[in-house]
Structure 1
C-alpha cells in the first residue's frame, strides 16, 4: 500500500492542522508517513497545502503526484490537475461543483457537503476541514477510531475535540458508504510492536539540544528556524532551560557566547539572512575558543529570496563564514533521527574541541514531519571536554595554554584559583592581547592543531554513510535533506533491477576525505543538490580531486523529488 494525499485551501482554513491530524492518525496505525507543507510568504491570504505520503513500507520523502486531493476551496481543485495519479479522487464541497465537474474524466469526484454539515452541527466554518479529513479516511476505509484519537488529542478543550470528531465522522460515513467502493486504494493499520513518533526536523533539533544538556537558548525569529524557538519556549523552562528572544540575531549569538563563556551549553538558530548578521560574532567564538552551537535552516536567497521555500545554497557560505581562518564543525543531518542524534554530537564536539559547531538543515527538513521510532537515549553520553569545575589545581592558569592537541584547559568564571581572561583580539596563552608576530604564529598553529584530532574524532562518528549496491558503477552523492528523496529513488530503481549507490555526507567540515575516496574513487558520480552551482561538487574536488560526472540540480525553491532522480539515472544509463 502506498498513498499520496494533498489537503489544500486558503490561509486560515486550518490546512496545516488538519493535514497533521490525518497524518498522525496514519502514523498511529503503524504506517511510514512523510508530511510536508507549501505556503507563501504572506501575512494574510494565499494558498496553503499539506502533503502526506504514507506506505506500509519504509518511505522517506513526499510524492509529487496525488491519489487524493482534499479541496477546501475551488483553487485547490484546479491547482493540482497535472499532478493527479491515474485513479485519483477529489474531495470537494458542492459549492465548488462547477470546478470539479470539469475534471470528471481525470478523477473520481467525491462530493461531501462540508459546509452544510458544519451548519447542521452549529460549528465554526473552519471546522469543515475535519469533515474533509474524515472523508479522506472513509474513502480509503481507514479505521475511524484511530482518526478520532488523533483529533481528540489535538485540542486542549475536550468539547472542541468532540465536535471535530463528530464532524469527521459525518464526512467519513458519506465517503465510506457512497464512494469507497469506487476508489481502489485501501489503507489499513499495521500490527507493529512499539510506537512511532511524528515530528519535524526543527523539533528533533530542539529535542536533541535538550537531551544534550543545553541550558540557554537565544534566537530572533526567522523562517524556517522559528519553530525551534517556539518549541523551546513552550517546553524548555520545564527542564531548566532559559529561553530568550532578544532584539536581533546579533544580540542572540552574543548572548549565547556569553552563556557558554559562563559554563553552560548554549545554542542559537536562524536562517541565512540572520546568520549573515551573526558572522562577526562567530569569529569571536572562534578566537575566544568559546564552544557554541548554531543551527541554520536554509531558505531561498539571495536577500529575502523566498522565505518559505527550500534551498541548500548556504553551504559554502557557512563553511567560510566570518573573517579569518579557524576550524569548525559543520554537520548536516538528513532526517529527523539524525537531527536528534547529530545535535547531541554537535554539543559534545563543540565543547571537546572548543570550537563553533554548526547544524546545517533546510526548510524541507526543518518543517517536514517524518515518522520514526522513539529515540533511544540509553547510550547517549555527554562529553564536556577539558572543562574545569570547582577548583583549578595547576600552576598559574592559562586560558589559552598551548597543548599537543591545541585544546586548552577550560575554566569558567568563579573557578577557584583561576582568573579566566577571554579575548577577541589575538592573545597570549594568558589571554592578554598581543600583536607580536611569533605569538601570532604560535596561537594560530595552536588553534589549527585541533583539526587533526577533530578529524580523528569525526571519523569515529560515521561522517558519511553509504547506501545501496556497494559495487555500483554509478554513485549518487548529496548532503542534508537530499537523503530523503534519494533513498526513495533507490528503492524505485531497485524494483526495476537498476543498481546504484548513494554516499550521504553528514559532516562537511572537516570534510570526510577518507570516506569520499573509499566510496567514490573510480566510480561515476552524480550529484543531487538543491542549488544552481552544485556546491558539493566543488567541495569534493577541492578536498579529493574527484570530479562529478552528472548533476541533478533544482533551484526553484521546491525540494527534489524521487522521480526526478530516477529520470536522470535512466538518462545516464541508456
Structure 2
C-alpha cells in the first residue's frame, strides 16, 4: 500500500495544525508526496480543529474523505469523523478526554502522561503522534529526527511524551508504511508560499493584524524578517494596519498588508484614501 490518509483532531489550542505538519513531515522523510487539508474556526480557544494529511506515492491535489488513521484528542473528533472510517481504519484516542470511542479503537491517557512527565498540556499531541508512528510501523528514529527539528522548545519533554505514546502501542497493532523512493521535497503551507512570493517580489514591509486564515503569512514573515531585512509589524487593529501601510507606501516602500473578511470591512475608509491618494498597497 503506497497511500495513506491520516486525520488528527482536537480543540483549538491543542496544536492540531502543528501536529498535522509533523505527521506530514514523517511521511515526507519516507519519500511520500503530500497534500494537507487544515480546518479550523476563527477562534483562539475552543471549537473543533482537524487536519487531514494524505500521503501517496504519486502527486495529488486533494484530500480524501475516508481515512486510514483517526487520531482524536477529544470526543468531538470521534463524533464528527467516525463516518470517515473504513473497516481497516486505525483509531487512536486520548482516553482522558474520549469516553465513547468506536469499537476496536486504542486509547492512551495522554493528558495524564504529559502531567506525569512535567510536560505542558499541549505536549499530549506529541504522545498521540508517537502512538501513530508506532501504529504506522514507522521507526522511532524517524520521529525523533522530525520532532527535534520541528519543536525547538521543550524538546526533551515532548520526546518523553512521544516515546510513552510510541511504547503504548502493541506490536500486533502495527500497520506498515513502506519507504518510497520519491525525493524528499520541502513541506510548505499555502500561507508560507504567499510569504515567499512577497519576498521574491521585493517586499520591504508587511503590516497585519492576525485573523484567520491570513495569520500564517504574518507568522512566517515575522520569523524570517531579520534574515530578509524586512519590517513586519502587528499594530493594534485593522484600521491602524491600512493607515500604517499607507505610510510605508508614501515613503516609497514596497508594502503588503494581510487580513480577512471582517478585518477588510474595517479597512474600507483607509482603502478609499489609498485610492484617492494613488498609493499602492
Equivalent position of 2:138 in the other structure: 142
Equivalent position of 2:221 in the other structure: 232
Structure 1 residues 140 and 282: CA distance shift in structure 2, 3 A: same
Partner secondary structure for residue 221 of structure 1: coil
Q: Compute the displacement of 1:122 (Å).
A: 4.8
Q: Distance in 2 between matches of 1:255 and 1:126?
A: 35
Structure 1 residues 221 and 133: CA distance shift in structure 2, 3 A: closer
Structure 1 residues 55 and 290: CA distance shift in structure 2, 3 A: same
The Cα offsets for residues 358-403 of structure 1, whole Å up to 9 and x where unpaired, read as xxxxxxxxxxxxxxxxxxxxxxxxxxxxxxxxxxxxxxxxxxxxxx
Question: Is residue 208 from structure 1 mapped to residue 209 from structure 2 by the alignment?
Answer: no
Equivalent position of 2:52 in the other structure: 51
Q: Distance in 1 between matches of 2:96 and 2:237?
A: 47
> Cα RMSD (Å) of the superposition?
2.7
Question: Is residue 20 from structure 1 mapped to residue 21 from structure 2 by the alignment?
Answer: yes
Partner secondary structure for residue 80 of structure 1: helix
The Cα offsets for residues 304-363 of structure 1, whole Å up to 9 and x where unpaired, read as xxxxxxxxxxxxxxxxxxxxxxxxxxxxxxxxxxxxxxxxxxxxxxxxxxxxxxxxxxxx
Partner secondary structure for residue 34 of structure 1: strand
Partner secondary structure for residue 54 of structure 1: strand
TM-score w.r.t. length of structure 1: 0.44
Equivalent position of 2:252 in the other structure: 263
Q: How does 1:276-295 map to 2 (within 5 A)?
A: 276-292=265-281
Q: Compute the displacement of 1:179 (Å).
A: 0.6
Q: Compute the displacement of 1:177 (Å).
A: 0.7
Structure 1 residues 285 and 46: CA distance shift in structure 2, 3 A: closer
Equivalent position of 2:40 in the other structure: 39
Q: Compute the displacement of 1:4 (Å).
A: 1.4
Structure 1 residues 282 and 12: CA distance shift in structure 2, 3 A: closer
Structure 1 residues 120 and 177: CA distance shift in structure 2, 3 A: farther
Equivalent position of 2:163 in the other structure: 169
Q: Distance in 2 between matches of 1:238 and 1:139?
A: 39
Q: Distance in 2 between matches of 1:126 and 1:243?
A: 28
Contact 1:65 / 1:85 at 8 angstroms: preserved in 2? yes
Question: Is residue 131 from structure 1 mapped to residue 112 from structure 2 by the alignment?
Answer: no
Selected match of 1:274 from 263, 276, 280:
263
Q: Compute the displacement of 1:44 (Å).
A: 3.0
Structure of higher CA gyration radius: 1
Structure 1 residues 18 and 264: CA distance shift in structure 2, 3 A: same
Contact 1:66 / 1:83 at 8 angstroms: preserved in 2? yes
Contact 1:72 / 1:92 at 8 angstroms: preserved in 2? yes
Equivalent position of 2:150 in the other structure: 154
Structure 1 residues 94 and 209: CA distance shift in structure 2, 3 A: closer
Q: Compute the displacement of 1:70 (Å).
A: 1.0
Contact 1:135 / 1:172 at 8 angstroms: preserved in 2? yes
The Cα offsets for residues 460-511 of structure 1, whole Å up to 9 and x where unpaired, read as xxxxxxxxxxxxxxxxxxxxxxxxxxxxxxxxxxxxxxxxxxxxxxxxxxxx
Contact 1:143 / 1:189 at 8 angstroms: preserved in 2? no
Q: Distance in 1 between matches of 2:191 and 2:258?
A: 10
Give unpaired runs (5+ residues) of structure 2. none
Contact 2:24 / 2:53 at 8 angstroms: preserved in 1? yes
Q: Distance in 2 between matches of 1:218 and 1:119?
A: 39
Give unpaired runs (5+ residues) of structure 1. 293-574
Q: Distance in 2 between matches of 1:144 and 1:118?
A: 19
Deviates more, 1:231-240 or 1:206-215: 231-240
Contact 2:130 / 2:164 at 8 angstroms: preserved in 1? yes
Whose RCO is larger (CA < 8 A, sep 6+)? Answer: 2
Structure 1 residues 115 and 207: CA distance shift in structure 2, 3 A: same
Partner secondary structure for residue 175 of structure 1: coil
Structure 1 residues 115 and 286: CA distance shift in structure 2, 3 A: closer
Question: Is residue 241 from structure 1 mapped to residue 230 from structure 2 by the alignment?
Answer: yes
Partner secondary structure for residue 198 of structure 1: coil
Contact 1:135 / 1:176 at 8 angstroms: preserved in 2? no
Contact 2:12 / 2:46 at 8 angstroms: preserved in 1? yes
Q: Distance in 2 between matches of 1:205 and 1:149?
A: 27
Partner secondary structure for residue 27 of structure 1: helix
Contact 1:23 / 1:35 at 8 angstroms: preserved in 2? yes
Q: Distance in 1 between matches of 2:206 and 2:28?
A: 31
Structure 1 residues 121 and 269: CA distance shift in structure 2, 3 A: closer
Selected match of 1:191 from 176, 181, 188:
181
